[in-house]
């Protein structure tokens, strides 16, 4: 099937040129998000990511800055001219986020939330639909259909690893899903090696494998001080590592 490219601001996902999406798992405060945005711009990142509403496993973990995080996204995207993707977990969060972000993410835990998918289908904003960690490729494509059926065909899929018996990685990157979802769904597919592996030392090799398999882009987590991150520090690159990574794999960056 022909891939239907999706525009996010001035960036096109699915036109044959892999895009790099990077940013913190959670936006923790203005200064850290600003530092990431600056490094992202210098490293040739095309879309910034940053969580405001966080689907944490434990209700006692940092839950994100919520609406305040969306205000920071709005300010930073204007200042740096970078489009931003951020997650919504409920229908009511859509209206808070829709004017302050450029792309809405549906997280792995929400892939089966059909009312949320349908509500996103009634908007015109690009959607990044992550694969549920227990979802088959068919279930994932059907989740995308819930969005498209309501009229919004601006859907990009994100393979972020599935749950298997393996414990040395957080999830198992399903590399077959990249060509299959592209061929069978016609959606651009990006890969998130940070959540797939759960460890930063696998981001580089999994990115190479994903690009070789035809991925339309890569989304990774970065943090100015990963060891102090409030979420997912172990799978985040530092800002210096981001520069090396993007130069090596995307041939971008200013230094």
Binding residues vs Mn ion (CB under 5 A):
25, 232
Of residues 140 and 253, the one with the C-beta less far from ligand PEP: 140
Residue 182 touches which member of ligand PEP, Mn ion, none, C-beta under 5-8 Å by kind: none
Q: Helix (H, G, I), strand (E, B), or coil: what is residue 17?
A: coil
Distance CA 56, CA 90 (A): 14
For residues 27-86, which are near ligand PEP according to CB under 6 A?
A: 51, 55
Among 170, 182, 195, 223, indicate the residue that binds ligand PEP (CB under 6 A). Answer: 195
* Cβ 54 to ligand PEP shortest distance, Å: 7
Contact 45, 2 (CB under 8 A): no
Whichever of 226 and 253 has its CB closer to Mn ion, that residue is 226
Q: Whole-number minimum distance, CB 34 to ligand PEP, in Å?
A: 19
Stretch that binds ligand PEP, among 32-40, 101-109, 135-143, 149-157 (CB under 6 A): 101-109
- Say how many residues touch ligand PEP, by CB under 6 A: 9
Q: Which does residue 159 touch among ligand PEP, Mn ion, none (CB within 5 to 8 A, set by kind)?
A: none
Name the residue nearer to ligand PEP (CB basis): 83 or 107: 107
Task: Round to the nearest angstrom and report the end-to-end CA distance of the chain.
Answer: 39
Let me know: does 137 contact 184? Beta carbons within 8 Å.
yes
Question: Computed over its alpha carbons, how large is the radius of gyration of the chain?
Answer: 16
Residue 208 interface partner, choices ligand PEP, Mn ion, none, CB cut-off 5-8 Å depending on type = none
Chain position carrying tokens 């993410």: 105
Query: Where does 112-238 have alpha helices with state H?
Result: 114-121, 137-149, 177-185, 193-197, 203-212
CA distances from 71 to 47, 80, 84, 133 (A): 17, 14, 12, 30
- Residues of 140-158 as b/e, b for ≥16 C-beta within 10 angstroms? bbbbbebbbeeebbbbbbb
Site for ligand PEP in 104-143 (CB under 6 A): 107-109, 130
Decide if residue 191 touches ligand PEP (CB under 6 A): no
CB of 44 to Mn ion, least distance (A): 22
The item of ligand PEP, Mn ion, none sharing an interface with residue 115, based on CB under 5 to 8 Å by kind, is none
Nearest CA to 219 out of 68, 70, 13 is that of 13
Q: Which residues bind ligand PEP (CB under 6 A)?
A: 25, 51, 55, 107-109, 130, 160, 195
């Amino acid at each position: 099937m022909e891939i239907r490219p999706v525009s996010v601001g001035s960036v096109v996902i699915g036109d044959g040129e892999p895009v790099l999406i990077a940013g913190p798992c959670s936006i923790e405060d203005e200064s850290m998000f600003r530092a990431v945005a600056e490094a992202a711009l210098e490293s040739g990142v095309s879309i910034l990511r940053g969580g405001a509403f966080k689907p944490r496993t434990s209700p006692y973990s940092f839950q994100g800055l919520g609406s305040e995080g969306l205000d920071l996204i709005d300010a930073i995207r204007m200042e740096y001219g970078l489009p931003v993707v951020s997650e919504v977990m409920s229908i009511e969060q859509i209206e808070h986020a829709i004017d302050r972000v450029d792309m809405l993410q549906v997280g792995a835990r929400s892939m089966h939330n059909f009312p949320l998918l349908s509500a996103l289908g009634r908007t015109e904003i690009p959607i990044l639909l992550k694969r549920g960690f227990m979802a088959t490729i068919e279930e994932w494509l059907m989740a995308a259909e819930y969005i498209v059926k309501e009229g919004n065909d601006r859907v990009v899929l994100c393979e972020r690893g599935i749950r298997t018996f393996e414990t040395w990685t957080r999830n198992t990157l399903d590399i077959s899903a990249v060509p299959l979802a592209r061929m069978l769904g016609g959606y651009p597919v990006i890969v998130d090696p940070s959540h797939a592996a759960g460890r930063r030392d696998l981001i580089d090799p999994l990115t190479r494998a994903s690009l070789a398999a035809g991925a339309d882009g890569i989304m990774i987590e970065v943090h100015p001080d990963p060891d102090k991150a409030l979420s997912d520090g172990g799978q985040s690159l530092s800002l210096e590592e981001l520069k090396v990574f993007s130069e090596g794999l995307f041939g971008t960056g200013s230094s």
